[in-house]
Amino acid sequence: MRKLSVIIPAYNEEKRIEKTLKSVLDFLSAQAYQSEVVIVDDASSDDTMNVVKQIGYRKSKIDLKMLQHAYNKGKGAAVKSGIMASTGDYILFMDADNSTNINQIKKMLPYIKSHQIVIGSRYLDKNSIKIKQPLARRVISRSGNIFIKFLLKISYADTQCGFKLFESRAAKEIFKRVTIKRWGFDIEVLVIAKKLDYKVKEVAVDWYDSPQSQLRSGRAAYNTFKELIKIKKNLSKGKYN
């Protein structure tokens, strides 16, 4: 691998971004390949960007880019902004809460030369989940995945894990077609990948639920359902061709 871009979307993450970013920079500093980290602040109202800037001043070995939305657009929009601004040959996006540590990329790299996309999964291996979500969120997550498989005909065990690795060209071809700006964007990415005949590999990764998660399960499930309907309509209209 020549160069890796790591995209981290962030919204009001001043309490968690320092630990996550330090672990990413420390890991990348020890690798033989070149790398960059792109933090995309989705119009945070807290001190997220100042925390990132302070870390950037102290750790200069890795190229650290900071993008900032003028207003809150959603996680999907933040990831899209980061991917379009990246310069790596391969692109990983991961969550600001470090639910899957950057070191899990080692499990994915063996597959990226034979697949354009490698996605992390919490559900391929029963031992992957180290800290579980509350029961209500687990029920919504698993039932939602069944519905996604039925409606959109994609068969992955885990569409929503926020740890996905792409060959750069594939990432940019996919994300220029992405229309979902919030939580359902992961699903749309996989639907577009299938439409464009990209090869996708699903790999088990370690995952830890964050007790400080900002996700509100009921509202997120309702909004994601609406986004699924939009994706289905886009498919029927040929918008991803």
CATH number at 157 reads 3.90.550.10
Residue 171, domain member (yes or no): yes
pLDDT bucket at 107, cuts 50 / 70 / 90: very high
Comparing 87 with 131, the larger pLDDT belongs to 87
Residue 32 in any domain: the answer is yes
| 55 domain-assigned | yes
**pLDDT at residue 215 is higher than 60:** no
Long-range CB contacts for residues 144-150, cutoff 8 Å, separation at least 24: 144/221, 144/224, 147/225, 147/228, 148/187, 148/228
User: Which amino acid is it at 7?
Assistant: I
- The mean pLDDT value for 138-160 works out to 77
Work out the average pLDDT over 135-149: 67
Q: Which two tokens stand for residue 228?
A: 């699924």
Quick one: what percent of the chain has pLDDT higher than 70? 90
Q: Is residue 216 part of a domain?
A: yes
pLDDT at 169 over 70: yes
pLDDT at 192 over 80: yes
Regarding beta strands 207-208 and 164-167, do their DSSP bridges make them parallel or antiparallel, or are they unpaired? unpaired
Q: Which domain holds residue 85?
A: 3-236
User: What would you report as the CA-atom Rg of the chain, rounded to the nearest whole angstrom?
Assistant: 17
Number of structural domains in the chain = 1
Q: Locate tokens 């991961």: which residue?
A: 94
User: Rounded CA gap, 122 and 116, in Å?
Assistant: 20
Q: What is the pLDDT of residue 99?
A: 95
Q: Is residue 15 in a domain?
A: yes
Report pLDDT for 170.
Answer: 98
95 found inside a domain: yes
Residue 137: inside a domain, yes or no? yes
Question: If pLDDT is split at 50, 70 and 90, which confidence band does 210 have?
Answer: confident
| Average pLDDT for 193-200 | 97
- The span from the CA of 81 to the CA of 9, in Å, is 9
In a domain, 241, yes or no: no
